Amino acid sequence: MLPLIPWPTEVLPTDAPALALPAVRLAPAGDLPGTLLDVVAEQLAAVGVGRADDGVPFTLRLDPAAGPAAADSPERYSLTVTADGVEAVAAEPVGLLHAARTLRQLVERTDATPAVPAIVVHDAPRYAWRGLSFDVVRHWFGPDDIRAVVDLVAAFKLRVLHLHLTDDQGWRLEIPSRPELEKASDNQVGGGTAGFLTVDDYAALQEYAAARYVTIVPEFDMPGHVNAATHVYGGLTTDGLPTDAYSGIEVGFSRLHFDNPTTEPFLRDVIGDIARMTRGDWVHVGGDEVLTMDHDEFAKFVELAARIVREHGKTPIFWQEGARGPVEPGTLLQYWEPKGEEFERFVAAAAAGAQFIMSPGNHAYLDMQYVEGHPLGLHWAGYVELRDSYDWEPATVIDGMPAEAVAGVSAAIWTETITTRDELFSMLLPRLGAVAEVAWTAPDAKDFDAFAARTAAAAPAWRSHGWAFHPTPQVDWS
């Protein structure tokens, strides 16, 4: 049983004996970024494989012919393990890191010397957009926890970590033009001390993620979910009075007002600063669950926020509600709630050039309880056991939507009920592996029983990395 998650395009075991791998000597053919080699070494160090001049040769080479025969993804790669050493070949540097991640999952540590089976892998992802959306507002998770989550998503070859940074309970990112927002950082669900990413924290996090080929996508959620902002800036409300701090878990009650003269300057300051601080191409501007605003006012917010994001050279992302506004080609919409009556709107948005990130609550919301009575999580989208996270098809979730309109898949974890890193990881694992496989693996190569067996085989490594996981009865862990 090869503990590979997500399952690759082609796996060709060979008859050659396993290769002992106490240490590797990284042998880049041609110029490769030094940070890439360091991160490759870090992947192997995590499973006890050192880096040494007299180690087993591990050749890393760029070659457009890498990967499965028909693959055109820039992430395609091949990995070959023989008795003489290891070779990774990829079209682009990210593929070399994917090869190292595959190698990391293959390392067996049953005895003192790590070893890998002799094998050939040709691999490429189905979707380019493979991510996790992570709420660091409802309960505060700081830079160390976020880095641990970067490591986890990277291990499953995901490319995007979307951070939900603002909501009713707190504001989690320093905005230099609006320094008072820090006053809204020391609150979370249930009250208590929380925190805030400074400009430097945010830059360092993005650098850490970028070295692992993970892009941080920041979200400023508007025009709802803004109580942290109205708590600091009373001028954003209609009576000019600041709202009270909020530490409950209701949604939908807070809002901005389009015609209030303070509103557009606030959007321009916040979106402008976030865009300037962000290395990636995207800024998420929310748009979800505004339950107290009419259609026309909401549409004006969508148009304005998208325009400001574009003025700063970034691409806007909205939750699916963004389809209620004018949609420009290239806009990304994140599907989350199965609302059949909105499907026509989504199809129209796709026809206008929008692309969809699929995060269906009943499959990809990893803050849903596994089963009734599970000690953590909510259940508004149902109970989401491992198999529910695995058995779904992104291209057919929205009736009538062309398959090409799907940019990819994002799992999501909201933290109303989740307070510690172990709780967080026990909701992410093993389900994040299932969503990663939905995003990466060809539909006809998926098989839940095989996935469950690979999950069991991966668990010892998770334990040794200190990654908590939920021992769902859908897996035979023995």
Q: Which residues are catalytic?
A: 289
- Our finding on whether 365 is near ligand TNX (CB under 6 A) is yes
Q: Sort 247 into a burial class: Cβ within 10 Å, 0-12 / 13-18 / 19+.
A: middle
- Our finding on whether 414 is near ligand TNX (CB under 6 A) is yes
**Quick one: 167 or 437, whose CB is closer to ligand TNX?**
167
Of 273, 367, 388, 437, the one binding ligand TNX by CB under 6 A: 367
Of 129, 134, 266, 336, the one binding ligand TNX by CB under 6 A: 336
- Our finding on whether 18 is near ligand TNX (CB under 6 A) is no
Tell me the one-letter amino acid at 279: R
* Nearest approach, Cβ of residue 336 and ligand TNX (Å): 4
**Quick one: 122 or 138, whose CB is closer to ligand TNX?**
138
Q: What is the footprint of ligand TNX within residues 305-334 (CB under 6 A)? A: 319
Q: What is the footprint of ligand TNX within residues 129-188 (CB under 6 A)? A: 135
CA distances from 343 to 324, 361, 406 (A): 11, 15, 14
Give residues with Cβ within 8 angstroms of 75, minimum separation 6. 90, 91, 92, 94, 95, 98, 124, 125, 128
**SS3 of 309, please?**
helix
* Nearest approach, Cβ of residue 415 and ligand TNX (Å): 8
* Nearest approach, Cβ of residue 230 and ligand TNX (Å): 17
Of 38, 19, 23, the closest CA to residue 79 belongs to: 19
- Our finding on whether 219 is near ligand TNX (CB under 6 A) is no
Residue pair 103/44 in contact (Cβ under 8 Å)? The answer is yes
* Nearest approach, Cβ of residue 251 and ligand TNX (Å): 5
Q: Which token pair is 465?
A: 């990395």
H-only helix segments in 46-92: none
77 beta partners = 90, 123
Q: Which helix (H) or strand (E) holds 200?
A: helix 199-211
- Our finding on whether 378 is near ligand TNX (CB under 6 A) is yes
H-only helix segments in 278-420: 295-311, 343-351, 361-364, 386-390
Of 288, 385, 388, 437, the one binding ligand TNX by CB under 6 A: 288
* Nearest approach, Cβ of residue 122 and ligand TNX (Å): 37
**Quick one: 174 or 221, whose CB is closer to ligand TNX?**
221
**Quick one: 7 or 365, whose CB is closer to ligand TNX?**
365
Q: Which residues sit at the interface with ligand TNX, rule CB under 6 A? A: 135, 251, 288-289, 319, 336, 365, 367, 378, 414, 416
